[in-house]
Amino acid sequence: MPSRRAFRSHARRLLRRLVDLTMGFLFGLVYRKPGAIVNPIEDLLLLDTASTLALKIRTKKIKSVEVIEKYIARIKDINPLLNCVVDERFEEALAEARAVDKLIESGTKTEEELARETPFLGVPFTTKDSIQVKGLKFTAGLYVRRDTIGEEDAAAVTTLKRAGAIPLALTNVSELCMWWESHNTVHGRTNNPYDANRIVGGSSGGEGCLQAAAGSPMGIGSDIGGSIRMPCFFNGVFGHKPSRGLVSNAGEYPIASKDHDLFLGTGPMCRFASDLTPMLRVLCDKNAHRVPFDEKVDIKALKFYYMEDDGGSALVSAVHPEIKAVMHKVLTYLKKAHGIQPQRVNVTNMKRSAAIWFAKMNVKGEPDFCQELANRNGSINVYWELIKWALCLSKHTFIALATGISEKMGVQSGTPEHTRLLEVCDQMYTEFKDILGNNGIFLYPTHPTAAPYHNEPVFKPLNFSYTAIINVLGFPATHIPLGLNDKGLPIGIQAVGAMNCDHHCIAVACELERAFGGWVPPAISV
C-alpha cells in the first residue's frame, strides 16, 4: 500500500509538471514579444528612503511640497502603462504638504521633537483599495461597490497620518482581495513594471507595483494568504506580514471575522529594508511594546533553518531552480560572512499547506464567498454568473466565481476532514514554535516561480500556499528581494521569525539587502 500511494503521488507531481510546462509554452506563444518596461527613474529624490525624506524635510534640506510634486509627476508618468493607481488626492496632499512646510519654517518645534512625535512628517504614502482612506474609493475591486467612498480612515492609515505622513493615492487589488493577480471589473488589470505582460501579484498587487516603479516611498498592504509578500516578490520590493494581532485591521474590507482577523496581517511595503522598522513601529501603535524594536540584533546570535520547497505537493508548481539557487547563495553567505551553519528541516505537513489554509478560512456562521460577492446583501447565484461571464455579461471576474464554486465543493466546516486539518495546523504551530524558539529564523521560498504571465495563475491556483501557511500559523514574515532572474524578473525568499520577533525578520532583511543589493530598479536614467 505505501508503494501504491507513493506511485500515485509521483504521478500527480509529474502531471503537475506537465501542466506547468504546457501552460508555460502556450502563454509564451501568446506573449511572444517581451512586455514593455516602465519608464526609467530620472530623479534622484525618488531613490531616497522614506526615512531619509523625512530627515531632509524636517532639517529643511527639501520641502514636503517638492517631494509630493515629484511623486505626483512619477505616478502620472507610469500609470498609463501599469494601471496601479486607481484613485488619488493630489491637491489635498499638496495642501497638507504646504502646511507641513509652514510648520517647520515656524520653528515652533525642534528637529528632535519633530523626529520623535512625527517621524514621517511630510512624507507621502499610498495604500490599497481595501484599506479605507477618507474621501477615496473603497471598492475592494467589487463592482457593486464601485461608487463607495471611504467615510473615515482605517486604523493603519490613521497611525501613519498621526506620524506626519500624507496619504497620496490608492492602488489596485484583486476582486475582494482573494486572488494573486490584481484584476477586477472596477479598475481593470495591473501590469508588472519589469515586464507588462506579467502579473504584479495580489491582493496588494497595485501597491507592490507602485513601490517597485518608484511611484511612492512607502505603502500599506494587507496579507491573509500572502497578499503583501507575493506582490513584493513579483515586484522585487520588501514587505512584512506582522505577528498575529500586532497591527489593527480595523477599517478594511472585506471585514475580517474574529477568526480571520487572527491571520490577516496589515503591514509595510517599501523599496528599502531600512524603512520596515520605523513603518512597522508606527503601524503597531499601542502594540509596539510587544516587539523590542530598539534591540540591536546580532545576526550571529540567530539560528537559521530552511526548506527549499514544500516537500513535494502534487498540486503546487515545483520551486524554480533559480529560486533554489538564490536560497543557497544566502545560505553560503551566512556561512562565510557570519560563521552560521543553517540547518535544513523537514516539516512534512508543509505539503498540505493549501488544504490547511482553506480549512482555516472556512469558518462556520460567517458569510461565504458568494455572499461577499454580493457585498453581504444576499448572495449571488454563482452558476448563473458563470454563464453570464461566458457571455461577457457578468460584473465579476472568472477567478472570483471559480473561488465561490470551489468553496461550495471544498471541505466543509465541522466535517471530520475539516477537524483533522485544523488539528494538523495546531501540530505545525507547535512544531514551528519549537524550531524557532526565541531566536530562530526560517528561510523559505516566498513563491515557487517568478511572476507568471497574465491569467497564467488560473492554471496554478495553489501556488500561493508558500505564503498562506505562514498566515494561519501566525508568525511574522518578511519578503526579501534577491535580484533578478535570467528573464529580468525579481526573485527572493521570505524570512519567518518567532512570534513577536518581527525585528529578527527585518534584521535579516537589512543584512541580506546589504549583501545582495535589495530592490533593483526596473529602469533608471539619472
Q: Which of 130, 216, 222, 227 is catalytic?
A: 227
Decide: 238 and 273 in contact? Cβ < 8 Å.
yes
- Position 9 scores a pLDDT of 74
What lies within 8 Å, CB to CB, of 307 at 6+ separation is 344, 345, 346, 347, 350, 442, 443, 444
What lies within 8 Å, CB to CB, of 113 at 6+ separation is none
Partners of 497 in beta bridges: 441
Q: CA torsion sign, 86 to 92 to 95 to 101?
A: negative
Q: Spell out a b/e string for 459-475, using b for 16 or more CB atoms within 10 Å of the CB, else e.
A: bbbbbbbbbbbbbbbbb
Q: Which of 51, 174, 203, 243 is catalytic?
A: 203
Domain boundaries, the chain: 47-362+410-516
- Grid cell locating 160: 501613519
Active site residue 243: no
Active site residue 394: no
- Grid cell locating 161: 497620518
What's the pTM? 0.97
Indicate the residue type of 92: E
CB count within 10 Å of CB 322 equals 17
Partners of 161 in beta bridges: none
| Three-class SS state of 526 | coil
Q: Which of 56, 63, 128, 360 is catalytic?
A: 128
- Residues 47-362+410-516: name the CATH superfamily: Amidase signature (AS) domain (3.90.1300.10)
Helix crossing, 155-162 with 276-284: angle to 10°?
Answer: 110
Active site residue 64: no
Place of cell 478594511: 252
- Grid cell locating 469: 501557511
- Position 524 scores a pLDDT of 83
DSSP 498: S
- Position 138 scores a pLDDT of 98
- Position 4 scores a pLDDT of 73
pLDDT along the chain (526 residues), means of 10: 68 88 93 94 97 98 98 98 98 98 97 98 98 98 98 98 98 97 98 98 98 98 98 98 98 94 97 98 98 97 98 95 98 98 98 97 92 96 97 97 93 94 98 98 98 97 98 98 98 98 98 98 87
Decide: 202 and 458 in contact? Cβ < 8 Å.
no
